[in-house]
Structure 1
Amino acid sequence: MNIPSRETIEQLRRNYPSGTRIELVRMGDPQAPPMGTKGTVRGVDDTGSLLVSWDNGSSLNVIYGVDLVRKLPSDSSGCGQE
């Protein structure tokens, strides 16, 4: 795993503050929620991983540079780009 720079981690924390809604696009883990599952960001750790509470009850983190999510608009009416 390639750990991002401090600046990248700070940018991730600004772009994905606690409470941000996301949708899973791709996750390379056999325990991953199904693609399209929505969740709420709880924070960003020091490796750049998003700490997520998925709507299906999972709490699997989104790994920076490996997994892919889509940030949802604050009103959750549709999908936005990262």
Structure 2
Amino acid sequence: MPFPNKNIVEMIRRQYPKGCRVELVRMDDVQAPPVGTKGTVIGVDDTASVMVKWDNGCGLNVVYGEDSCRRIEE
């Protein structure tokens, strides 16, 4: 997966602003929280990965192009 360009990073930052709530859809990592785990976005890094503070204490990022989460309203 190529490094995302500045426009993609900004699009992801608009889609997942700091403080919004998300739910995990897919994460390919043995230490990943279970699918359906909810969390709060703490930011989006320069690789367009969504940084999430998961409700279960996990701190793994949602990696752009590999993992998937969806924004939720609570």
- Both structures adopt the same fold (TM-score exceeding 0.5): yes
The aligned residue for residue 19 of structure 2 is 19
Displacement after TM superposition at 1:15 (Å): 1.1
User: May I ask how many residue pairs the two structures share in their alignment?
Assistant: 74
Gaps of 5+ in 2: none
Identity of matched residues, %: 58
Task: Determine which structure has the larger strand proportion and give its number.
Answer: 2
Question: In 2, are the aligned partners of 1:2 and 1:65 still within 8 Å (CA)?
Answer: no
Q: Any runs of at least 4 consecutive aligned residues in structure 1 with deviations exceeding 6 A, and if so which?
A: none
In structure 2, C-alpha distance between the alignment counterparts of 1:2 and 1:49, rounded to whole Å: 13
* 1:40 alignment partner, SS class: strand
The answer on whether the counterparts of 1:32 and 1:60 sit within 8 Å (CA) in structure 2 is: yes
Q: Under a length normalisation based on structure 2, what TM-score does the superposition of the two structures give?
A: 0.95
Q: Distance in 2 between matches of 1:37 and 1:63?
A: 16
Distance 2:44 2:37 in 1: 19
TM-score for the superposition, normalised by structure 1: 0.86
CA RMSD of aligned residues (A): 0.8
Task: State the Cα distance separating 1:70 from its structure 2 match.
Answer: 1.2
Aligned to 2:39: 39
Mark the runs of 5 or more structure 1 residues left unpaired by the alignment: 77-82
Shift of 1:69: 0.6
Cα-to-partner distance string for 1:37-80 (whole Å, 9 max, x where unaligned): 0000000000000110000001100000000111102xx1xxxx
